[in-house]
Amino acid sequence: MKVYAPPVTTYRIKDVAERSGFSAPTLRYYEDIRLLPAPARSERGYRLYDEQTFARLAFIARAKQLGCTLEEIGDLSAAWDGGRCGPVQDRLREVVAEKLAAAERQIDVLTTLTADLQRAAAALERHRPEGRCDDTCGCVSDPTADAPAPIAQGVQLSSKPISCTLDRGSLRDRITEWHALLAHAMNREVIDRGIRISLQSGAPLDELIRLTAAEQDCCQSLSFAITVDSRGVALEVRSPDDAGVLVAAVFGAQQ
């Protein structure tokens, strides 16, 4: 008895580009570097893709969202090609842990830099020599190097002041708390001057309220809003342009 096999739906490269969001040149480049397997070809030489292509591109997009390089995605693709989720999760878990540690180190560096910039801004306002720069004007050296770093002086470095009243250790603890809560995030999207984080239905709302209130108290340059609508519960974080890097580091990359 002849078994009926339904026809396989194929897609041209422009169809894949429109549906996936990856441009045609990007798709060709991914094929060149073997992130995508070489597609079948029509009799006229056109590339023909199947549904599995979209699953693979969704995986690539997710890896890029998590900050993976193309080289790292290529390594992850080896696990993906095995056809089982477990090894993919195991490898991705390792990559995410490495990225998280790097992000926390970057936050530590940014925290130190912010304190240095606040101290420099304050020093530049204290003394203005009549002649050349000297050791106390703040232009050639730090006249307050031995003084404690100002934590929250409200010094205006640009159009809006950016400050945080937490010391470095407390800031790290706060970031850890946010990362634990945001493990319940479903997606992130760009909004005006910030990011909107949609949360899963099981997210601990009491912890969300506590952290939001605490964050508003110590980072008054940022604004926070908890919203509830037909899409579910979400946290909206808005910032002056100057704080965009910090917002992205704590609350996640804007998509």
Tens of each residue's pLDDT in the chain, 255 residues = 555 445 568 889 999 999 998 999 999 999 999 999 888 898 888 899 998 999 999 999 988 888 888 889 989 988 888 888 888 889 888 888 888 888 777 777 777 777 777 777 777 888 788 888 888 877 877 776 655 544 433 333 333 344 566 666 677 777 778 888 888 888 888 887 788 888 888 888 888 888 888 877 777 777 888 888 777 888 988 877 655 556 666 676 544
| Pair 252, 195: CB distance under 8 Å | yes
Decide: pTM greater than 0.95: no
Question: d(Cα 13, Cα 179) in Å, to the nearest integer?
Answer: 38
Q: Contact 135/143 with Cβ under 8 angstroms?
A: yes
Domain extent, residue 169, equals 97-251
Domains held by the chain: number: 2
67 and 28 part of one domain = yes
* Whether residues 105 and 217 fall in one domain: yes
Same domain, 75 and 104: no
Nearest 5°: the CA angle 67, 68, 73 is 155
The Cα–Cα gap between 37 and 148 comes to: 57
Residues 170 and 232 in one domain: yes
User: Are 56 and 117 within one domain?
Assistant: no
Q: Quick check: is 89 in a domain?
A: no
